[in-house]
Amino acid sequence: MIPSTATLLLALGVTLSGASSIPAGKPIKPNHESSKENANRIFNAIHSAGRQWGSSYYHNGFGFIPAVMPRGTLTFHGDGTNTVPTGPEWLAFEIEHAEGFAQSHKKGFRRPPGGGPPPKDGDSDGQKPLSEDEDTRQELRRRDDGPGGGPGGPGGGPPDGGPGGGRDDDENKNVRGYLQTYQANRGLNLLYIDGTSAGKTSMGTLDSQDLLLRENTTHHDGGGFSEIPRALDLCDLAGEWGFDGVMRMEAGFEIIYCDFSDGLDLISMTRTMMPDDKLVDNSMGSFQWARAVGERYNGLGGDRIRFDFSSMVSALFFPVNITSSDIERPDLVRLESVSQDDLKVIKTYLAKVATQPRRFTVNWQGIVDLIVSRFAQRMSSMASETLSWQYFITEVETITSTWFDAAPLPDDISLKKKRKEVNRTADAIDRCRKHFLRPATIAQKEWSLEDELIFTSIDTVMENVCSTLFSVRELLFDASASAPDSYSDYQPIEEDDNSGLQDATKIGRTVVQRLMEELGWTIWKQAQPCPAEEVLFIAMWPFGKVADHWTPGCRSIDGMRQSRNESYWWMNFGGPGGPRNGGKSKDGDRP
C-alpha cells in the first residue's frame, strides 16, 4: 500500500485549483472507475509489456513500469568511437539493432544503418544515419559537454540536415564503427516506458515522455529530433528517482543508460569492416534487423528483464481525457488534451511509486498470459465462418462447462442430499471470472494500490469474457428444444430439428466476433501457423499418427481422428517387452 498517497495528492490540490478538467480544487487520483473504463487498454498494456508485437500495434503507451535487468545480462552499443561513452547513451537488447549504428564508412559517405532504415515516412528519423555534420557535432558535444553523448547507439538522434560543415579534404578518410558489448555487473534499475516509446513521431508515441515526464519543456538544448535533450531530461529524472536508465522500444528494445561508469562492464569492442572490404554489399540490413527484433514479438527472452507490475503506474489509471484530436485516427490515444496540471499530478504519483522499494508482489503479465492463451484460439475458432455449427456449439459448451456445476438428476447415484436451488449460470460466471485471478488474489493482503487497480482492469475484462460466453451458451440452450437442464458431454442433434440451433449459432458467432473487437488482443493481429479451425500438431503421447511425428504440421479437427493401428506410439507401447502391435490395454491411449 501507499500510505501517504492521499495526503500527497490532497496537498497538490492546493496548487491545482485552477485546472480545467478537474472539479473545483480536487486533484485527480488513480481510481477504480478509470481502471474499469480503460480495462481493455490496461489489460493489453500488461500483455504487451516487453513485447515487440503488441507494443508496435498499440504504439502509444501511457504506462511506466519499474524493471530490473539481472546481473550478467548483455547489451550492445554501436558507436563511431572506440571509447566507452560516459552517458547518456543508447544500449540495444539486440545485436542487429546496435550494429545498425556501428557501420564503418568513408567520411564523406555514411552507409545507412542496417543497409537502410525501414522506409517509413515521418518517423524514420530516429534510425537515420548520422550525417558528417552530426558526427562532428557529436564529437564536439562529447568533448565539450561531458555527458552529452550523442546518438550513435540505437535510437540515437537523427541528423537535422542543418547547414555548415561541408565536405573537406578528409572525405576519403575512414570513419570506423565499433560494436561495443556491455555486461550488467549488478541488477540494473530501469524505468520502462511502454508502447513504441522510442518511436520519434508526432502520433503520440512520445506523449508519455514529452508531455508527462518532461512537462512539455526541455531543460537542455540541441540534438536532432530532440533525442539528446530528451535523453538528458530522462536521465535527470532517472537519477532523481534512483534508476540507471530508461527502457524504451522502437524496432528493438533499448535502454538510455545514464552513467556508463556505474553498473556496466565493457566486455568486447570490435571494429567493423569498411564496406569496400566486404565480399558483398549488404542489402539485407533492414530485413536482418527486423528478423532479429521479430524474435522478440512475444517477449524478450533470456530472462533479460523483470518487470515490477505491482509498481506499474499508468495515465490510464487516472480520470483524464485520452481522446485523440486527430479525426483521421480516432483509434489513437493521446495525452495532448490533458492539462499540464493533471499530468504533473500523475508524474508526482509516479515519482512516489518509483522511489519506493521494488515490490514484485504479483506478476500480472503471467495472469494475463494464461487468460489470453486459454481464450484467444478458441474465440478465433468460434468466430471463424468456416467452423461448422456443430463444432461451434462444442466449443461454447466446452469452454463454459468447465465452470458449470450441472444440475442433479433423479437417476443419479448421489452421496449427498439435494441442495437448495441456485442460479447455476450465475455461479458459473462467477467461477470463470475468478479462476485466472486466484494466483493473484491469494496475496491480496500485500497488494499495492497499483495491484488493486490492475486487478480491477483484469476482473472487468474477465467479467465481460465470461458473461458473454455464458450468454452464448444460454442462447444455444434456449434454441435447443430438447436441451436438458444439465450439461451432457455429447447430445445427438436431430437432423431436421436444428434450424433454431443453427440460427442461434449465427448470432452466437457474431457475439463472439464483437467480443473480440472489444478485447482487441494483439495476438489476433498475428499470423498464426494454422487456420483458426486447425491445430499445429506434433505427435504427443498418447496422440498422433506416424506422420505427425515425422512431419508435424496443421491438423484439422477431423484430421486428428485416428485408429489405433495408425498411432505413432502404439507400435512401441511399453518399450521393450511391452505389448507390441495390437496390445490389449483398452485405455492405453487415454490419459
Ligand X SMILES: *[C@@H]1O[C@H](CO)[C@@H](O)[C@H](O)[C@H]1NC(C)=O
Q: Shortest CA distance to 185 belongs to which of 239, 95, 257, 261?
A: 261
Choose between 21 and 270: whose C-beta lies nearer to ligand X: 21
Q: Which of 37, 145, 236, 336 binds ligand X (CB under 6 A)?
A: 336
Binding residues with ligand X: total (CB under 6 A): 15
Q: Residue 289: enclosing H or E segment and its boundaries?
A: helix 285-294
Segment near ligand X (CB under 6 A); pick from 55-63, 345-353, 475-483, 558-566: 558-566
Other C-beta atoms lying within 10 Å of the C-beta of residue 306: 17
Asked if residue 406 binds ligand X (CB under 6 A), the reply is: no
Choose between 278 and 329: whose C-beta lies nearer to ligand X: 329
Asked if residue 17 binds ligand X (CB under 6 A), the reply is: no
- The residues, ordered by sequence, that sit 6+ positions from 399 with a Cβ below 8 Å of its Cβ are 375, 378, 469
Asked if residue 20 binds ligand X (CB under 6 A), the reply is: no
Three-state SS sequence of 292-357: HHHCCCCCCCCCCCEECHHHCEEHHHCCCCCECCCCCCCCCECCCCCCHHHHHHHHHHHHHHHCCC
Name the DSSP letter for residue 203.
S
Choose between 117 and 195: whose C-beta lies nearer to ligand X: 195
**With contact defined as beta carbons under 8 Å apart, do 66 and 208 qualify?**
no
333 backbone dihedrals φ, ψ, rounded to 5°: -105, 145
Choose between 82 and 565: whose C-beta lies nearer to ligand X: 565
Asked if residue 4 binds ligand X (CB under 6 A), the reply is: no
- Where helices occur in 221-266 by DSSP H, the ranges are 227-241
Whole-number minimum distance, CB 391 to ligand X, in Å? 25
Choose between 101 and 568: whose C-beta lies nearer to ligand X: 568
Q: Which of 172, 261, 423, 551 binds ligand X (CB under 6 A)?
A: 423
Q: Residue 506: enclosing H or E segment and its boundaries?
A: helix 499-519
CA distance 1 to 172: 62
317: left (phi over 0), alpha (psi -120 to 50) or beta: alpha
Q: Shortest CA distance to 125 belongs to which of 221, 196, 225?
A: 225
Whole-number minimum distance, CB 21 to ligand X, in Å? 7
Q: Which of 385, 563, 575, 590 binds ligand X (CB under 6 A)?
A: 563
Whole-number minimum distance, CB 435 to ligand X, in Å? 16
Choose between 105 and 334: whose C-beta lies nearer to ligand X: 334
Find the binding residues for ligand X in span 427-486 (CB under 6 A).
429
Handedness of CA 140, 142, 144, 145 (dihedral sign): positive
Asked if residue 172 binds ligand X (CB under 6 A), the reply is: no
Segment near ligand X (CB under 6 A); pick from 54-62, 254-262, 273-281, 422-430: 422-430
Choose between 17 and 565: whose C-beta lies nearer to ligand X: 565
Name the DSSP letter for residue 565.
G
Going by DSSP bridges, is the β-strand pair 245-250/188-195 parallel, antiparallel, or unpaired? parallel
Asked if residue 211 binds ligand X (CB under 6 A), the reply is: yes
Binding mask 221-260 for ligand X (x = CB under 6 A): ----------------------------------------
Q: What value, to the nearest 5°, has the Cα angle with vertex 366 and ends 206 and 94?
A: 50
Find the binding residues for ligand X in span 294-323 (CB under 6 A).
321, 323
CA distance 270 to 179: 5
Asked if residue 426 binds ligand X (CB under 6 A), the reply is: yes
Segment near ligand X (CB under 6 A); pick from 157-165, 420-428, 432-440, 526-534: 420-428
Q: Which of 4, 216, 402, 510 binds ligand X (CB under 6 A)?
A: 216
Asked if residue 572 binds ligand X (CB under 6 A), the reply is: no
CA distances from 327 to 270, 323, 324, 335, 561 (A): 49, 10, 7, 15, 52
CA distance 193 to 449: 20
- The residues, ordered by sequence, that sit 6+ positions from 64 with a Cβ below 8 Å of its Cβ are 191, 192, 193, 194, 208, 312, 313, 314, 350, 354
Asked if residue 340 binds ligand X (CB under 6 A), the reply is: yes
CA distance 419 to 93: 59
Binding mask 188-207 for ligand X (x = CB under 6 A): --------------------
Residues in the chain: 591
String of b and e for 433-443 (b: at least 16 CB within 10 Å)? bebbbeebeee
Find the binding residues for ligand X in span 148-167 (CB under 6 A).
none
Whole-number minimum distance, CB 33 to ligand X, in Å? 15
Choose between 356 and 467: whose C-beta lies nearer to ligand X: 467
Whole-number minimum distance, CB 253 to ligand X, in Å? 27
Name the DSSP letter for residue 28.
P
CA distance 499 to 354: 59
Segment near ligand X (CB under 6 A); pick from 147-155, 227-235, 332-340, 568-576: 332-340
Choose between 15 and 340: whose C-beta lies nearer to ligand X: 340
What's the distance, Cα to Cα, between the start and end of the chain in Å?
Answer: 45
Segment near ligand X (CB under 6 A); pick from 383-391, 419-427, 453-461, 521-529: 419-427
Q: Shortest CA distance to 527 belongs to which of 345, 294, 367?
A: 294
Asked if residue 325 binds ligand X (CB under 6 A), the reply is: yes
Choose between 175 and 429: whose C-beta lies nearer to ligand X: 429
Whole-number minimum distance, CB 309 to ligand X, in Å? 28
Whole-number minimum distance, CB 430 to ligand X, in Å? 9
473 backbone dihedrals φ, ψ, rounded to 5°: -60, -45
Choose between 160 and 463: whose C-beta lies nearer to ligand X: 463
Asked if residue 425 binds ligand X (CB under 6 A), the reply is: yes
Q: Which of 82, 174, 488, 565 binds ligand X (CB under 6 A)?
A: 565
Segment near ligand X (CB under 6 A); pick from 112-120, 218-226, 403-411, 562-570: 562-570
Whole-number minimum distance, CB 203 to ligand X, in Å? 14
Choose between 91 and 212: whose C-beta lies nearer to ligand X: 212
Asked if residue 337 binds ligand X (CB under 6 A), the reply is: yes
Residues that bind ligand X (CB under 6 A): 211, 216, 321, 323, 325, 336-337, 340, 423, 425-426, 429, 563, 565-566
